[in-house]
């Protein structure tokens, strides 16, 4: 296995867990089944509930940013994997000026192949622009860019954002959903600092592990290690404070963070009650343990007081 292969495979895991939960009706997403195969395994209800909270919370902040900026903004999804937000936002008519997705070449190459196979995916990108440019691992449309880059190599990130026509003067939302934990701390620091230096108005939403300095954390690290997947960035996943501080240390104006357990209790409770009836779960403690080991952290730079600092997930 090459050193990044274990990390790359985490996208299959995430996408298959999402597809499984969508098929069980935790949330609706007609596109995930076009981008990933069905998992043969049966997933425990706490896993699907965890993914429900993750997807709902990420989407909530994403939508709030798009509404606040009146869609006059850009979204950059780092380590996007098989993410489907581009197509979902198009359906909602809640679309930014540009949507850029970045991941390792082998991940983007598979996504390109799937997009080419499914007319509905390709047409959404192509309908805006006759001159869509496709290569084996990249797509450039008028408002969608799928590019390959190693996020730990800043020069690559910079080059690919430039090739995607990024406008540093537009409010820009960077998202990383379970990605930074796989990247060396110093490299992530360099990336977060570069974003803070280069983008005057920006927000970063980061979903990943927290409270990892305990037995649960040790077991997760060991399990992943046995699959050649190393949590090189786990140092920042000690607490909500370490999650926030890494942004504040490199020039972000403000940062906040919440455990997913807290967030789960703040999600629209009518929908939470609906999903809790989908599958019987006898051990509530397992879900609570899982949710207390993940968090959402967000940081902002908002010198003109657009209101980004006031966005939250509740
Ligand atoms: C757990 S998956 C999450 C995928 C997607 N964000 C989601 O939540 O469904 C982690 C993703 O981060 C990507 N990734 C991790 N480290 C990366 C790096 N250094 N450069 C580019 N992509 C990276 C992996 O290839 C994978 O697609």
CATH at 241: 3.40.50.150
3-class secondary structure for the chain?
CCCCHHHHHHHHHHHHHHHHHHHCCCCCCCCHHHHCCCCCCCCCHHHHHHHHHHHHHHHHHHHHHHHHCCCCCEEEEECCCCCCHHHHHHHHCCCCCEEEEEECHHHHHHHHHHHHHCHHHHHHHHCCCCCCEECCCCEECCCEEEEECCCCCHHHHHHHHHHCCCCCCCCEEEEEECCHHHCCHHHHHHHHHHHHHHCCCEEEEEEEECCCCCHHHHHHHHHHHCCCCCCCCHHHHCCHHHHHHHHHCCCCCEEEEEEHHHHHHHCCHHHHHHHHCCCCCCCHHHHHHHHCCEEEEEEEECCCCCCHHHCCCC
177 annotated ligand-binding residue: yes
User: Which residue range(s) make up the domain with 9?
Assistant: 5-310
pLDDT at 58 over 60: yes
pLDDT at residue number 282: 85
* Ligand 1 in reach of 255 Cβ (< 6 A): no
Across the range 214-223, mean pLDDT stands at: 95
State pLDDT tens for residues 130-172. Answer: 679 999 999 999 999 999 999 999 999 999 999 999 999 999 9
Q: What is the mean pLDDT of residues 226-249?
A: 95
Ligand 1 neighbourhood includes 178 CB (under 6 angstroms): yes
Cβ–ligand 1 distance for 150 under 6 Å, the answer yes
| Predicted local confidence at residue 314, as pLDDT | 85
Q: Is 188 in the pocket of ligand 1 (CB under 6 A)?
A: no
Q: Is 129 within any annotated ligand binding site?
A: no
Ligand 1 centroid to Cα of residue 105, in Å, is 11
Ligand 1 pocket: which of 79, 156, 189 to mutate (most atoms <8 Å of CB)?
A: 79
Q: For the chain, what is the domain count?
A: 1
């Amino acid at each position: 296995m090459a050193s990044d292969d274990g990390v790359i495979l985490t996208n299959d895991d995430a996408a298959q867990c999402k597809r499984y939960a969508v098929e069980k009706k935790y949330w609706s997403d007609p596109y995930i089944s076009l981008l990933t195969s069905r998992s043969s395994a049966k997933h425990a209800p706490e896993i699907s509930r965890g993914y429900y909270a993750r997807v709902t919370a990420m989407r909530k902040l994403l939508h709030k940013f798009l509404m606040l900026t009146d869609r006059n903004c850009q979204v950059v999804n780092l380590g996007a994997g098989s993410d489907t937000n581009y197509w979902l936002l198009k359906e909602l008519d809640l679309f930014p000026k540009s949507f850029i997705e970045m991941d390792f070449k082998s991940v983007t190459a598979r996504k390109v192949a799937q997009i080419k196979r499914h007319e509905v995916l390709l047409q959404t990108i192509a309908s805006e622009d006759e001159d869509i440019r496709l290569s084996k691992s990249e797509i450039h449309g008028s408002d969608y860019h799928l590019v390959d880059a190693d996020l730990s190599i800043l020069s690559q990130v910079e080059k690919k954002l430039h090739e995607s026509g990024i406008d540093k003067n537009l409010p820009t939302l960077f998202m990383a959903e379970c990605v930074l934990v796989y990247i060396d701390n110093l490299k992530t620091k360099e990336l977060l600092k570069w974003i803070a230096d280069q983008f005057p108005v920006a927000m970063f939403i980061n979903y990943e592990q927290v409270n990892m300095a305990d037995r649960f954390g040790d077991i997760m690290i060991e399990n992943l290690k046995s699959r050649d997947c190393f949590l090189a960035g786990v140092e920042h996943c000690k607490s909500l404070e370490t999650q926030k501080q890494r942004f504040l240390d490199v020039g972000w104006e403000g940062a906040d963070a919440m455990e997913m357990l807290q967030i789960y209790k703040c999600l629209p409770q009518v929908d939470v009650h609906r999903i809790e009836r989908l599958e019987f779960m006898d051990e509530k403690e397992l879900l609570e343990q899982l949710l207390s080991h993940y968090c959402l952290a967000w940081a902002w730079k908002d010198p003109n007081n657009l209101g980004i600092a006031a966005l939250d997930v509740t």
